[in-house]
Amino acid sequence: MNPLDTLCVIPARGGSKGVPRKNLLDVGGKPLIVWTIEQALAVPELDVLVSTDDEEIAHVAREAGARVPWLRPAHLAQDTTPTEPVVRHAIEQVTAERGRPDAVMLLQATSPVRHDDTLARALAEFAATGVDSMVGVVEQPPFVWQAGDPPQAAYDVAARPRRQDLTAENRRYRETGSLYLTRTEVYEQHDNRLGGRIGLFVMAEDEGVDIDTDLDVALAARLLERRDR
């Protein structure tokens, strides 16, 4: 079987509410976005493209080796802009440029901690399972509550489980936001990164870091520096 033609899209808007200019923030000695670009470029099967509205981000991305063939139009770079229209715009531009990709790997620069084999493993699992879309997840303890009157537990409080006794069927996972892999037709038909038959791509616990606060920045830097050692 021939490998899928996979476009890797890394969205990187210039604006940011929580941590200003966070895509360019120095994290562990590199601009934040560069970690994700370098991880993607290490996988030969990926066509690595950064979608940004920002000239400085575009420059840094190109210097790191990613393709930035155009700047994202302003109407796709608002605070309220979802990610899906950004990916569809990238698909349309790339299709006009060199042909329609079979699938899209969406990587969020704000989740920079990924192991060396993670992206290649995701591509292999995607091909082997034949799913239409795949979402990166990390395992989380089952002791989750939903607010309400009364609040509801996601587990049986009368028979509290031990984490080590959980079976594969009743394990719970949290979406990391780090990685999605999707057949192009899912974006075209559903305008969604997830659709059709969905698979879980289980990542390591430390790969679940998402940068929204200064504390997240410090934690990511510590993990990335430790990984590089």
DSSP letters spanning 186-221: HHHHHSSSS-SSEEEEE--GGGG---SSHHHHHHHH
Q: How many domains does the chain have?
A: 1
Domain that holds residue 123: 6-139+173-228
Within a domain: 58 = yes
Q: Does the structure show a pLDDT above 70 at 153?
A: yes
Q: How far apart are CA 202 and CA 220, in angstroms?
A: 19
> Could you tell me the pLDDT band of residue 125, with boundaries at 50, 70 and 90?
very high
What are the strands of the beta sheet with 103-107, ordered from one edge? 46-51, 6-11, 103-107, 172-183, 133-140, 198-202
Within a domain: 67 = yes
Looking at residue 99, its amino acid is G
Query: Could you tell me the CATH number of the domain that includes residue 177?
Result: 3.90.550.10
Within a domain: 167 = no
pLDDT, tens only, 46-64: 999 999 999 999 999 999 9
At residue 20, the 3 state secondary structure works out as: coil
Within a domain: 162 = no
Averaged confidence pLDDT in the chain = 92
Q: Looking at the whole model, is its pTM more than 0.85?
A: yes
Within a domain: 97 = yes
Q: Which residues pair with 34 in a beta bridge?
A: none
Within a domain: 152 = no
| pLDDT value, residue 168 | 64
Within a domain: 38 = yes
Active-site residue, selected from the candidate residues 98, 160, 163, 197: 160
Active site residue 171: no
| pLDDT value, residue 226 | 80
Within a domain: 165 = no
Q: Does the structure show a pLDDT above 50 at 1?
A: no
